[in-house]
């Protein structure tokens, strides 16, 4: 992978210190996957594996302790977007609010444009776009 720009490196460090959802936009698929791998590796409190998921079959019902990485979130079908919203509903422990797993989503598409075209759920966008890394 090419050397990361200073602002991307700073964003990765910020995301690594947090348990917040991360949206990685721009760059190529391999670069987004590498950024997700770095964030997951640096999040010491998430001990489970990095689960790559572009369909629900790749993710256990409760991926506790893992990081779920969706390589191209803009290309998820409407049913898959609904599945992802349900997964996010189970992301926090009900009593303490502690995150049970991490979620990182990548895209090369303009999600705001897809929201305007009604092909991407605005609620999902705002739930994913907590920390936004633009490559």
CA atoms within 13 A on the CB side of 72: 9
62/6 Cα distance (integer angstroms): 35
pLDDT in tens, 55-75: 667 777 778 888 999 999 999
pLDDT at 54: 73
Give the bridge partners for 105, in sequence order.
23, 70
Report all structural domains of the chain as residue ranges with CATH numbers, in order of start. Answer: 6-134 (3.40.50.300)
pLDDT at 1: 43
pLDDT in tens, the chain (135 residues): 446 688 899 999 999 998 899 999 999 999 999 999 999 999 876 678 888 887 667 777 778 888 999 999 999 999 999 999 998 988 888 888 888 888 999 999 999 999 999 999 999 999 999 999 999
The structure tokens listed for 64 are 């506790």
pLDDT at 48: 84
pLDDT at 62: 75
pTM, full prediction: 0.89
pLDDT at 45: 63
């Amino acid at each position: 992978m090419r050397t990361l720009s200073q602002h991307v490196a700073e964003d990765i460090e910020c995301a690594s210190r947090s348990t917040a959802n991360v949206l990685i936009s721009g760059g190529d698929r391999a670069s987004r996957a590498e950024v997700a791998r770095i964030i997951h590796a640096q999040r010491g409190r998430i001990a489970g594996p990095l689960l790559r998921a572009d369909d629900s079959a790749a993710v256990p019902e409760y991926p506790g302790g893992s990081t779920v990485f969706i390589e191209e979130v803009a290309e998820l079908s409407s049913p898959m977007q609904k599945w992802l919203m349900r997964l996010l509903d189970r992301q926090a422990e009900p009593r303490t609010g502690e995150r049970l797993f991490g979620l990182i989503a990548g895209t090369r598409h303009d999600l705001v444009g897809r929201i305007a075209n009604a092909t991407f759920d605005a609620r999902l966008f705002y739930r994913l776009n907590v920390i936004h890394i633009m490559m």
